[in-house]
Chains A and B, each alone.
Chain A
Amino acid sequence: MKFKIFAVITFLLLSYALYQGMWAAPREATMGDIQRIFYYHVPSAWTSFLCFFANFIASIVYLARRNLKADAFAVSTAEVGVVFCTVVLVTGPLWARPVWGIWWTWDARLTTTLVLWLIYVSYLLLRRYSTGQATPTLAAALAIFGFLDVPIVYMSIRWWRTQHPQPVIAGGQGSGLDPHMWAAVLWNWAAFMALAGLLIWVRYRLEIVRQQLDEAHALRAVGRVEGSFTR
């Protein structure tokens, strides 16, 4: 029931955010309507970053407490984070091409997002290729490395870009954003956060069921019908 309410709220938020982005926000002077991609590009970036932060916390909790729920949460946030990260990487070039005539510019934030994407895709690959039952532990270790790397990646690429300047896609940090545009950005962010929450919820439940299934099989293998394994 709670889930259904949340789903409805998400739908409403997405609809309103769509309206905000596509109609309510003013048309950008130089770039035209194509600039509206900004309302998808930037909130996706923030959402994916928060997902990865949640993954970082969940990984630490897992290593500290060996709580399988934390591991379920970790894999869910990583997957949803990668999805939103992919959105950022796709909308970037989609925007850059018509406006600046180039697909990719290696600008600081887009490149950092690319590296972030690579790190978390490698995390998901590790989870998939890992044999045996050490997967949650190994993945949690990698997640900690990956997230701690993020600020270092950002600083290194920013400096790299000041050495070799190139066109900047996302118009800089709030560089003269019209207040009406800010409304569209924030509504879309709220909508994406709700969507991310919904997706994480679903994925989390799926993972918990998978864990319970494994435990049921294990119990049956031991010869018991009820109960659970607690360390």
Chain B
Amino acid sequence: MSALAGVTASNLRKDVRLEWRSKDAVNAMLFFALLVVVIFSFAFDPTAEESRQIVGGLVWVAFLFAAIVALNQAWMRELRNQVLDAYRVSPAPANALFLGKAIGNFLFISVVEALLVPLFVVFYNLRPVGPAWQLVPVFLLGTWALVVVGTFFAAISLRTRSREVMLPLILFPVSIPAVLAMVEATTMVLTGTETPRFWITLLLVYDVVFTTVCLLLFETVLHAE
């Protein structure tokens, strides 16, 4: 167990360090999400009241696209120079690689979200009617849902043709309940209609079920050839 935690931490440190040096993923995500926000502003020109209804959906569509940008290159550094081979040959547990990568992606995407949320507030003149703190579990659980399944599916799509297309193709259908939950919960908080307790519970269930499945299956997928 401690080997798992130790190697996971080592993987996480390595990913954060590499990302910090190149800032590939974060830059691409930020810019892409910003573009989406601006384009949506042209497409929908809502009043303050209307915007509370639709921003839930807009925010998560923007983050979904940004997450795909990040996830598509999640394993790129391991593929370059065949570093993945070196990991597979070692006795290090496969799940440590997965968890390190997933937690790293979670941090990067959360950073982007934290930078973009103020932007949404500004562009759409948002003032949530409901208790804003409830958005925190929604964002945390929702982002983890996208990241954990997305990191796993990104590893699957490594062995396909047109892998950048394959990843969203296999990720979006399975993520639908999570995205629905995120959108509905965010809208509920913004419009203050009711507490999003059901949706938060759903996200929790989704996270628990799929994190478990990822941990059970990752080793098999890593060594499949």
Contacts and interface: CB of A to CB of B under 8 A. Distances in A.
- The reply to whether A and B meet directly (CB within 8 Å) is yes
Interface of A: 63, 115, 118-119, 121-123, 125-126, 129-134, 137-138, 141-142, 144-146, 148-149, 152-153, 155-157, 159-160, 163
A131 B159 contact: yes
B146 to A, nearest CB: 14
B202 A141 contact: no
Contacts of B174: 119, 122, 145-146, 149
Contacts of B152: 141, 145
B154 interface: no
A131 B220 CA distance: 17
A218 B177 CA distance: 43
Nearest to A125: B169
Interface residues of B, number: 32
Contacts of A148: 209-210, 213
B166 A126 contact: yes
Contacts of B80: none
B175 to A, nearest CB: 9
B113 interface: no
29 contacts: A63-B217, A63-B220, A115-B173, A125-B169, A126-B156, A129-B161, A129-B162, A131-B159, A131-B161, A132-B225, A133-B225, A138-B221, A142-B170, A144-B213, A145-B149, A145-B174, A146-B174, A148-B209, A148-B210, A149-B174, A152-B202, A152-B205, A152-B206, A155-B177, A156-B177, A157-B177, A157-B180, A159-B199, A163-B184
Interface in B143-167: 149, 152-153, 156, 159-162, 166
B166 A137 contact: no
A100 B45 CA distance: 32
B206 to A, nearest CB: 6
A122 to B, nearest CB: 5
B221 A137 contact: yes
A119 to B, nearest CB: 4
A63 B152 CA distance: 16
Interface in B177-217: 177, 180-181, 184, 198-199, 202, 205-206, 209-210, 213, 217
Contacts of B217: 63, 141, 144
A144 B216 CA distance: 11
Given A138-B224, A141-B221, 13 more contacts: A118-B172, A119-B174, A125-B170, A126-B160, A134-B224, A137-B221, A142-B156, A153-B177, A155-B202, A156-B181, A157-B180, A159-B199, A160-B184
A160 B183 CA distance: 11
B18 interface: no
A134 B184 contact: no
Nearest to A134: B224
Contact of B156 (A119, A138, A155, A156): A138
